[in-house]
Amino acid sequence: MRITAAVVALAVTVTGCAVGESTGPGDGYPSKALTIMAPGSPGGGWDTRARGIAGALSQCDITDVKSTVVNVPGAGGTIGLAQFAKSKGDPYQLMVMDSATMLGGIVNNHSPVDLTTLTPIAGLSKGPSAIVVPKGAPYKDLKALLAALRKDPHGVKWTGGSLGAPGHMTVAGLAKGEGVDPKDINFVPTAGGGESMNLLLSGAATAGVDTVAELRAQLRAGELRALAVDGDQRIEGVDAPTLKELGLADKSIATMAGVLAPAGLSEEQQQDVISMIDKMRRTTCWQQVLKQNNWVDAWTPGEAFEQVLTQQRGQITTILGELGLGK
């Protein structure tokens, strides 16, 4: 009888879902609807990540409760951050972010709320970025664009997120390498990827820096042209050298995307949320999200994620200070 019961249980596990997926919602957390904040505009990377998590939780049967995505854009994510911080002690409120972008926004906007005051859930992924120009731009490679920047810093209009975000820091680093004072670059801040894309496609911006995930559709359509990508390896489907190949690897800013919960959670509540996100990230649903967006799995739960945020907080504060930003 025990053997038969074990076989039945195994059959349910195997037939219920694909390898690595949950067999369904269990008892306890979450027992009511979840809210996942994306502190950026619809269509941007944070929005894509929040909706990817919500979709994977539902579609791969991690939970049967509803997950609602809320967008609160502005000021490098710090407007949403300030609102999110008010949900103290509530494990049903989650927020997606990426370390360098939000930390840059915190430093640049002198946010009274810091990531280290929240409850770290996990780092989930890393994703490459690209430097792009509109299809009609006269710059055939990054060298030509940087030559134009060196000749007339204000004449090259950049976009790529908020002030202090990775895109802004990358442009400032490139400018400094060309002997241009970072304070002289013409960088147009935006609340999210959709707004940056409009500036590029309309010709209002000369060049942009954003994630490959946000740029890929327009790169495939030929509306944008990539001049370089960060990271150590070229990106499949993107015809551009890496900054490392061009001797500019130190100009890009590494970032880790992840999930936070409000302050005030108990250790048990924190572990409940971590467990749910861990089950989610093992599903084929989430693996498909990673593949579609060229994100690389970077699972870093709990305390380890907190250590990453603390380390990058100091690093980014130093970088922004050296570049004349965030003062």
Is the pLDDT confidence value at 135 over 70?
A: yes
Confidence of residue 20 (pLDDT cuts 50, 70, 90): very low
Ranges 4-13, 17-26, 211-220: which has the least confidence: 4-13
Average pLDDT value over all residues in the chain? 88
Residue 48 CA to residue 43 CA, distance in Å, equals 6
- pLDDT score recorded for residue 4: 34
Residue 166 CA to residue 202 CA, distance in Å, equals 23
- pLDDT score recorded for residue 327: 64
- DSSP class per residue in 142-169: HHHHHHHHHH-GGGSEEESSSTTSHHHH
Confidence of residue 24 (pLDDT cuts 50, 70, 90): very low
The domains of the chain are located at 2-127+255-322, 129-251
Amino acid code (one letter) for 77: G
CA–CA–CA angle 141, 146, 152 (5° rounding): 130
DSSP conformation class of 65: S
- pLDDT score recorded for residue 22: 40
Architecture of domain 129-251: 3-Layer(aba) Sandwich (3.40)
- pLDDT score recorded for residue 92: 98
Amino acid code (one letter) for 171: V
- Convert the pLDDT of each residue in 277-317 to its tens digit: 999 999 999 999 999 888 889 999 999 999 999 998 988 88
Residue 290 CA to residue 307 CA, distance in Å, equals 24
Q: What is the percentage of the chain residues whose pLDDT exceeds 70?
A: 90
3-class secondary structure, 289? helix
Residue 82 CA to residue 69 CA, distance in Å, equals 17
Q: Identify whether the C-beta of residue 259 lies closer than 8 Å to the C-beta of residue 35.
A: no
- pLDDT score recorded for residue 326: 67
Mean pLDDT of 77-102: 95
Residue 248 CA to residue 309 CA, distance in Å, equals 24
Is the pLDDT confidence value at 17 over 70?
A: no
**What are 200's two structure tokens?**
């590029």
**What are 180's two structure tokens?**
């241009």
Q: Identify whether the C-beta of residue 210 lies closer than 8 Å to the C-beta of residue 132.
A: yes
Q: Identify whether the C-beta of residue 323 lies closer than 8 Å to the C-beta of residue 176.
A: yes
- Buried b / exposed e over 244-278, threshold 16 CB at 10 Å, is bebebeebbbebbbbbbbbbebeeebbbbbbebbe
**pTM of this prediction?**
0.74
- pLDDT score recorded for residue 26: 46
Is the pLDDT confidence value at 250 over 90?
A: no
3-class secondary structure, 110? coil
Q: Where are the beta strands (DSSP E) in the chain?
A: 34-38, 67-71, 93-98, 119-126, 129-134, 157-159, 186-188, 207-211, 224-229, 257-261, 296-301
pLDDT higher for 166 or 281?
281
Q: In the chain, what is the greatest distance between 2 CA atoms, to the nearest angstrom?
A: 82
Number of neighbouring beta carbons within 10 Å of residue 12: 11
DSSP conformation class of 242: B
The answer to whether domain 2-127+255-322 and domain 129-251 are alike in fold is yes
Phi, psi of 290 (to 5 degrees): -60, -45
Residue 64 CA to residue 54 CA, distance in Å, equals 11
3-class secondary structure, 179? coil
- If one looks up domain 2-127+255-322 in CATH, what number appears? 3.40.190.150
Report which secondary-structure segment, H or E, holds 70: strand 67-71
Q: Identify whether the C-beta of residue 62 lies closer than 8 Å to the C-beta of residue 231.
A: no
